[in-house]
Amino acid sequence: MKPYFKIIPAIDIIDGKCVRLTQGDYNTKKIYNENPLEVAKQFEGVGIQYLHVVDLDGAKSRHIVNQKILEQIATHTNLIIDFGGGIKTSEDIQIAFDSGASQITCGSIAVSNHELVSQWMTTYGANKIILGADCKSKKITTHGWMKESTIDVIPFIQRYKKIGLSNAICTDVAKDGLLQGPSIDLYSEIISQTKINLIASGGISSVADIQATEDIGCAGVIIGKAIYEGYISLIELSKLC
C-alpha cells in the first residue's frame, strides 16, 4: 500500500454498542460487541492508525447522541478518528471535536445547509471537514440513508471542492453490507471528474477489494462488516498498514 493510502475500520454505534446494518436499514441491526472501546483497542493493537465512527442514533435523531463513546475511544487510544452521524448544528460539531474527533464527516447537513458547512470549513479548517457523499444510483442519500434526494453525487462533491474542501467519503448504499465488492466504476468516475481525495466505503469483502480501490486512486478505504464477519482478518489488515 502507498504511504498516503488509509486503511480505516468502521465502528457504527447504536445504544452504545458496536453494530452493523445492511444497506442502511436499521431493522437489519446486528450487534458485534457491547464495548466499542474494546474493538477500537483491537484495531490499534495491530497497527491501525485511523478509525471511522458513525453515531447511528445521532443520524436518526438528527443530533449527536454517542459523544461519550467517542470520548472514551479518543481518550484511551491514539487512533485518528473521523466522526459522523447527527452533526446538524454548530453545537454538535463543537461537542464532537471536544470529545476527541480529529475530523467530522458532514452528510445530511451538507445537503440541507451549504452555508453552515462552509462556515465550519472556515472556522475549523477545510481539512477538518470530510464531505459525506453517500449515494444510491448516484443520488445523494441523507438521514442515515433513510431518505433519497434528487442530487447527483458528482455535482454535489464539485460544489464543495470549489470552496476548498479536499476530502470526501462515498458509500454506495446499494453495496453496503452485502460483501459483494466496492463500486469501482462509480469511484473512478468521481475521482476523474472531481479530483477529490476520495475514501471508498461499502461492499469491501477482501484484501483484493482494498487493493482495487487503491489502484483506481482512492485516498483510503473504510472497512466494516468484512472485519466483523471474518472475511478480512486483523492480521491481514496489519500487513497493509
Give the residue numbers annotated as catalytic, written as ranges.
Answer: 12, 134
Residue 7 near residue 240, CB atoms below 8 Å = yes
Exposed, middle or buried: residue 22 (CB in 10 Å: 0-12, 13-18, 19+)?
middle
DSSP H or E segment with residue 55: strand 50-55
Q: Look at the chain and count its residues.
A: 241
Q: 135: closest CA among 198, 68, 211, 213?
A: 198
Residue 82 cell numbers, joined: 473521523
Residues with Cβ within 8 Å of residue 9, at least 6 apart in sequence: 43, 48, 50, 51, 52, 222, 223, 224, 227, 237
Sign of the Cα torsion 223, 90, 113, 219 reads negative
- Residue identified by cell 472514551 is 72
- Residue identified by cell 467517542 is 70
Query: For strand 147-152 and strand 167-171, is the pairing parallel, antiparallel, or unpaired?
Result: unpaired
State the Cα–Cα distance between residues 84 and 81, nearest whole angstrom. Answer: 10
